[in-house]
Structure 1
Amino acid sequence: MKRILASLAVLTLLAGAGPALADTYGAIAYSPSSGATGWSYAYGSRGAAETVARRNCDDSANDCRIAIWFRNGCGAVAVGYRGGWGSGWGYDRREAQRQAIGSCSRQTGSCRVIRWQCSGGE
């Protein structure tokens, strides 16, 4: 019986000793003047995710900026009908969207999400 318990204890310890998952980063860029967005996901660093999001923002006004970056989670950008905008993040899409709408609503009314993205691509 002692051998069985000792074996179970060792197996339990080994089961939790697997490789750690790498952090993944994403970002969303937004142009307040043109409404253009760019995004990225599944990058190994914040800097790389932000660079790609800015590059993907097809913006003729040249004022794309990083609205939100996120690690192992999701981000969202919401805009209001009167020009305000906001962003938010969360561990899932719904929370990121809720945070973005709340941030936008503090500036203006009637906000809607225009872009969301999760760092893993989902």
Structure 2
Amino acid sequence: MKKFVSGVVVAAAVGSALTLGAPSAQAARYYYGAIALSTSTGYIGYSYDYSDVDTAESRALSSCDAADCQSVVWFANGCGAVAYSDRTATWSWAYGDSRRTAQSRALGENYSDAAIVHWNCTSNHSK
């Protein structure tokens, strides 16, 4: 039996950055990414640095190459990760502001033998 863990969507707060000597603030740019997954084949599609979440998800789905691909996680100015447990045939996924956070969360939603099988980040993610 396969256990599927739902991904949680991130919505980041909009901020602005001041440049010394600049007369006004500039709004921070948001970059969106997504990961699509076929749980029957293990195929993964992904996207990064799109201007909106719908386009990011559409691109991830179109690059997945399996009929049953579904968008499992999207993120803004951050990262997504997918983990898989061979022992239990369990998939999990998560997002975070950094690669390390996304990977840690994806592994935390799975069994102890799980390993990261994919991750990707947008621009403006935390290092």
Tell me if both proteins adopt one fold, taking TM over 0.5 as the criterion.
yes
Instruction: Provide, for residues 69-91 of structure 1, a one-character-per-residue CA deviation record: whole Å limited to 9, x for no partner.
Output: 00111010101112111111111
Bigger helix share: 1
Query: Which blocks of at least 5 consecutive residues in structure 1 are unaligned?
Result: 1-10
Moved over 2 A (4+): 14-18
Distance 1:58 1:16, change over 3 A: farther
2:92 maps to 1:92: no
CA distance in 1, matches of 2:46, 2:124: 10
1:27 alignment partner, SS class? strand
* Residue type of the alignment partner of 2:89: G
The 5 A counterparts of 1:19-98 are 19-59=26-66, 62-81=67-86, 82-98=88-104
**Residue-pair matches, total:** 106
Partner residue of 2:107? 101
- Tell me the CA shift for residue 110 of structure 1: 1.1
CA distance in 2, matches of 1:21, 1:71: 12
Bigger radius of gyration: 1
Instruction: Provide, for residues 12-71 of structure 1, a one-character-per-residue CA deviation record: whole Å limited to 9, x for no partner.
Output: 6x5483321221100000110000000000001110000000000022xx1111111001
CA distance in 2, matches of 1:22, 1:96: 21
Query: Is the 2:77–2:124 Cα contact (8 Å) retained in structure 1?
Result: no
User: So what's the TM-score if we normalise by structure 1?
Assistant: 0.79
2:121 maps to 1:118: yes
User: So what's the TM-score if we normalise by structure 2?
Assistant: 0.76
- Percentage of matched positions with identical amino acids: 38
Query: Which blocks of at least 5 consecutive residues in structure 2 are unaligned?
Result: 1-18
Distance 1:113 1:66, change over 3 A: same
Provide the aligned C-alpha RMSD in A.
Answer: 2.1
2:24 alignment partner, SS class? coil
